[in-house]
Structure 1
Amino acid sequence: MKKISIAIIAITLLFACSEKKSENNLHLTGNIKGLKKGTLYVQRVANNKLVALDTIAIDGNSNFETNINLQSPEMLYLFLDRGVSNSLDNNLLFFAEPGDISIETNLENYIADAKVTGSKNQDLYYEYKKVDKRFQDESLTLIEKKFKAMKSKNEIELNGIIAKQETNIKRKYLYATNFAINNKDYEVAPYIALSEIYDINLKYLDTIHKSLSPKVVQSLYGKKLTEYIASIKKQQ
């Protein structure tokens, strides 16, 4: 009888631990070198607003840790309230997913020096942004050249720059489309479709959507992409 009671207690504790783990399936840890005092807010976008999921007080120890209930992989924000600064370099975007994720950065370059590890979606997003930056840099260069051509009223040069801008945009959108299709098994795919190329021709969004794995289709961004495509088709 005693053995049976012990077994029941053990099973109960096991289920309790499993339930707790599923409720808080994102274990987020990190360090902000140089931060002595401040407040961290883990936030998500809900109804076009940032909503706090958790608040972490920093007082003397720059390490932090929290557990968060995450139904599906999604982009979250780690907002740093420095208490004395209104700097825009305060809201760190990271692709959260169930499991252990670590964020290492410093107070001086909070966003620029941030390293997020433990998230496959984040790794892929880093990879995407690295190439996308080339298109962004090219766009800025062409804007500067366009301004100079307009100022000098050089129509031939201006038309050439406009053509290059259109080509750069097409290359950027094609890259994003191919990247999403090639990573159809990860939630970063519909996220890129929604955040980077939402205004692309509908057939490309449809192609991305049809390529997604069943698991990703049922994810947060998979469902949002489904809804977005349906809303466009309804307007046509």
Structure 2
Amino acid sequence: MKKSIIAFAAIALLASCDKKESADSLHITGNIKGLKNGTLYIQHIVDTSLVAIDTIKIDGNSSFESNIDLKSPEMLYLFLDRGVTNSLDNNILFFAEPGTINIETTLDNYLSSAKITGSKNHELYEDYKKINARFTDENLSMLEAKFKAMKRQDQKAVDSINAKQESNIKRKYLFATNFALNNKDHEIAPYIALAEIYDINVKFLDTIQKSMPPKVAQSLYGKKLTKYVADIKKQEQK
């Protein structure tokens, strides 16, 4: 009877360990149509540099997979080494989270054809990018108009465009803030705050930070945001 209890306890412990490991496990599957030979690097940012956490050799089969120990949802990069250039066109960003993520793309249109499924955080990130792109497009249009106005020395038009640009930036930052607050239950919230609006008034960052539930607050980006806000407040008190 005693041995049975010990055996049961051992099985329970192993099951607990397996559950913990699976909870932190990221399984990546994918296919790069048209790729026959090359090397894929799964990377993340350490300090300010991209560091590889896995390397995948492609030799005849364009399908690939990888298993990574992921402690917290994090923005990762799938870099394709074509042996020619280290262009950013070879780097797919994807917001990874524990579970299974699938990445499908083509060799000819590596970035534009990329379809990523299996991550709620990445789905939200794509939603954010679609709206945010409108502000970027508007600013590019205004830059073109501003250049033409400066060329014909029309200061009144330049001043008008400057005012519109400032308004566009404010709307862009307000959108990012509201997006983070509306999605505070996901790790995309502190990521947006840190990556997109880090230079906004600290009161907005503080609001986002305080809105995070414990799970998000204890995530990689949640902790970084908490420290970032605290550091700004400390600097302002000097």
Alignment correspondent of 1:231: 231
- In structure 2, the CA distance between the partners of 1:153 and 1:27, relative to structure 1 (3 Å rule), is same
Q: Say yes or no: does 1:204 pair with 2:198.
A: no
Alignment correspondent of 1:113: 113
User: What letter is aligned with 1:117?
Assistant: T
Alignment correspondent of 2:65: 65
- In structure 2, the CA distance between the partners of 1:209 and 1:35, relative to structure 1 (3 Å rule), is same
Structure 1 residue runs of 5 or longer lacking an equivalent are: none
Structure 1 residues 210-225: aligned runs within 5 Å:
210-225=210-225
Alignment correspondent of 1:175: 175
TM-score (normalizing by structure 2) = 0.92
- In structure 2, the CA distance between the partners of 1:16 and 1:206, relative to structure 1 (3 Å rule), is closer
CA offsets, 1:192-223, max 9 Å, x none? 00000111111111111111111111110011
Cα deviation, residue 180, structure 1: 0.3
Separation in 2 of the partners of 1:163 and 1:143? 12
Alignment correspondent of 2:30: 30
CA offsets, 1:124-179, max 9 Å, x none? 00000000000000011111111111111101111110010001000000000000
User: What letter is aligned with 1:70?
Assistant: L
Structure 1 residues 1-236: aligned runs within 5 Å:
4=4, 11=11, 14=15, 17-18=18-19, 20-22=21-23, 25-236=25-236
- In structure 2, the CA distance between the partners of 1:158 and 1:57, relative to structure 1 (3 Å rule), is same
Contact 1:22–1:69 under 8 Å retained in 2: no
Cα deviation, residue 15, structure 1: 5.5
Cα deviation, residue 18, structure 1: 3.9
Structure 1's consecutive aligned runs of 4 or more residues displaced over 6 angstroms after TM superposition are none
Separation in 2 of the partners of 1:219 and 1:19? 16
User: What letter is aligned with 1:48?
Assistant: T
Structure 2 residue runs of 5 or longer lacking an equivalent are: none
Contact 2:23–2:99 under 8 Å retained in 1: no
Separation in 2 of the partners of 1:165 and 1:9? 65
- In structure 2, the CA distance between the partners of 1:71 and 1:86, relative to structure 1 (3 Å rule), is closer
Aligned length: 233
Cα deviation, residue 4, structure 1: 5.0
Separation in 2 of the partners of 1:183 and 1:190? 10
Q: Which segment is superposed worse, 226-235 or 10-19?
A: 10-19
Cα deviation, residue 85, structure 1: 4.2
Q: CA RMSD in A?
A: 2.0
TM-score (normalizing by structure 1) = 0.92
- In structure 2, the CA distance between the partners of 1:169 and 1:121, relative to structure 1 (3 Å rule), is same
Separation in 1 of the partners of 2:223 and 2:81? 33
Q: Which segment is superposed worse, 84-93 or 106-115?
A: 84-93
